[in-house]
């Protein structure tokens, strides 16, 4: 769904592009989401006001620091889809898969084609590249979540060249992370494919996402093309 320019905040129109938020934790009582069911409709209203037409719910999977109730994911997602549809928002289910050298790769892919992956922010696990390679060999494309957080990864590092050029990984920066020094470094490099909210329940983030995309129109255009290619025809 695409929203009319007249509906969007007048400070930053983004040329009526279709906007997607590919990284959220908004399914109540599933992982570390702070959003309560009674506030869910209000949150969807904020997304609607920001002109965001697609939301991916991406609960944590295999994160050693977050308890995720996997049995609640599907029924809560179905509930959320019904609520969001009242605001004209299309919902998608994926996950944020934590790489930690595990043998079993039990993730929920975005759109049946992509896997949003994170890992420890201080160091890459010993089998980090091997694990990403295993995911790609299953036919998925990896999206590196909030790259601005990783102390071991920079746009000009050998590791990133392996991930980006050899393994075809896509790159995601958080909306608030985009305002940090490292976020700006990644965005200036031209390799960022997505800016997303990583929203755990903050109603100010949809508009923050919209506004930061207005400052990086090249990324917004990439995201719009992604939606047109992968979702609008579905």
Other CB atoms within a 10 A radius of the CB of residue 42 amount to: 11
| Residue 233: predicted pLDDT | 55
- Please give the pLDDT value at position 10: 42
pLDDT of residue 112: 95
Per-residue model confidence (pLDDT) at position 230: 85
* pLDDT value, residue 13: 55
pTM of the model: 0.93
Q: What is the DSSP string of the chain?
A: ----GGGS-TT--GGG--EEEEEE--STTTSS----HHHHHHHHHHHHHTTEEEEEE--EES-TTS---HHHHHHHHHHHHHHHHTTT-EEEE--EEEPSS-S------BTTTEEEEE--SS---TTHHHHHHHHHHTT-EEEETTGGG-TT--TTSHHHHIIIIIS--EEEEETTGGGSHHHHHHHHHT---EEE--BSS-TTHHHHHHHHHHH-HHHHHHHHHHHHHHTTT-
Contact 8, 213 (CB under 8 A): no
pLDDT for 202: 98
| CATH of the domain spanning 17-230 | 3.20.20.140
The model's pLDDT over 197-219, given as tens digits with 9 standing for 90+, comes to 999 999 999 999 999 999 999 99
Q: What is the pLDDT of residue 15?
A: 60
The residues of the chain scoring below 70 in pLDDT are 1-15, 232-234
Q: Using alpha carbons, list the distances in angstroms from residue 126 to 111, 130, 141, 157.
A: 29, 9, 21, 17
């Amino acid at each position: 769904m695409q929203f009319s320019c007249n509906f969007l905040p007048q400070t930053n129109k983004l040329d009526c592009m279709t906007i997607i938020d590919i990284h959220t934790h908004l399914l109540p009582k599933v992982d570390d989401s702070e959003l309560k069911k009674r506030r869910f409709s209000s949150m969807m209203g904020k997304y609607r006001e920001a002109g965001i037409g697609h939301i991916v719910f991406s609960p944590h999977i295999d994160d050693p620091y977050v308890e995720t109730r996997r049995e609640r994911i599907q029924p809560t997602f179905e509930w959320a889809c019904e609520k969001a549809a009242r605001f004209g928002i299309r919902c998608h289910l994926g996950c944020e898969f934590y790489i930690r050298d595990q043998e079993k790769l039990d993730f929920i892919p975005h759109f049946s084609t992509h896997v949003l992956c994170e890992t420890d922010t201080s160091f890459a696990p010993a089998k980090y590249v091997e694990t990403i390679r295993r995911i790609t060999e299953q036919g998925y494309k990896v999206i590196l979540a909030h790259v601005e957080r990783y102390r071991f990864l920079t746009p000009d590092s050998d590791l990133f060249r392996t991930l980006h050029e050899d393994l075809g990984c896509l790159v995601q920066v958080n909306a608030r992370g985009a305002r940090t020094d490292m976020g700006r470094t990644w965005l200036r490099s031209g390799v960022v494919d997505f800016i997303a909210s990583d929203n755990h329940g903050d109603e100010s983030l949809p508009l923050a996402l919209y506004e930061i995309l207005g400052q990086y129109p090249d990324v917004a255009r990439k995201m719009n093309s992604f939606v047109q290619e992968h979702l609008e025809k579905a």
